[in-house]
Amino acid sequence: MKAMIRLLVMLAIAAGPIAAQTLDLKSYRIVDLTHAFNAKTLYWPTSTSKFALDRLAYGPAAGGYFYSANSLSTPEHGGTHLDAPLHFAEKGRGADAIPLEQLIAPAVVIDVTAQAAASRDYRLTREDVLAFEKKHGQIGAGTVVLVRTGWSRFWPEAKAYLGDDTPGDASKLSFPSYGEEAARLLVEERQVGVLGIDTASTDYGKSTDFRVHRIAAARNVPGLENLTNLDQLPPRGAMVIALPMKIEGGSGGPLRAVALVPR
């Protein structure tokens, strides 16, 4: 795992044509794990603002060439985004301070689509993680753990995705995610680097104490929320690159996440 991380980091900083040819992208499928940001992007119901893209210019410039520019506004937490540890830990890392090695790392995908289909309030259990490890091997330190619930099929329909679409009210939400004991196993025992999910939160919809967020933030483990296309990843073998907007002191931010899957 460390060797794979070093390879990608070296590619990012190395100079010269030989180094640039070290990684042959033709050997990988590149999977986009990100929902596009637009007027339909979903945010937490209590958010007082949403995504806005205001046109500043579009058309011929005075010099005769085409020119386009926009003004962008969005809360940190909405759409496909990263939760920095600072989101739930006063002394946690901000979005700009998360080590790149933590955001560019091998991934595992734990599939709970069957359980989530049976109960939209399903929470990943410790037993689910152990069953995954029995079949695919123990999850290593620094791994990006992605939980696939199948929920991205509901995007961007708020009622289906969140369980409720009442503006300003987050008390009736219903969607699956991590459970507390599974989070403790992954974060505290396995020392994983990131928790990710294809729902709106690493805590399930009915949560009122956000235990999973707090467990992860206490160990400086960020979260990736509202991911998509997890069905295109294998249980093991993919490399995830999850780079948020680098907001100094930010509690999170919009995210472009992709996965490299060996062909």
Active-site residue numbers? 87
Q: 209 is written with which tokens? A: 């104490």
Among the listed residues 193, 192, 187, the one whose alpha carbon sits nearest the alpha carbon of residue 216? 187
How is 46-98 classified by DSSP, letter by letter? Answer: T-S---EEEEEEEEE-TTSSEEEEEEEE--SSBSSEEE-GGGT-TTS--TTTS
Q: Where are the beta strands (DSSP E) in the chain?
A: 28-32, 52-60, 66-73, 81-83, 104-111, 123-124, 144-148, 177-178, 194-197, 223-225, 236-244, 252-262
Tokens 């603002």 appear where?
Answer: 49
Q: How many helices (H) and strands (E) does the chain have?
A: 8, 12
* End-to-end CA gap in the chain: 18
Three-state DSSP at 123 gives strand
d(CA 44, CA 23): 39
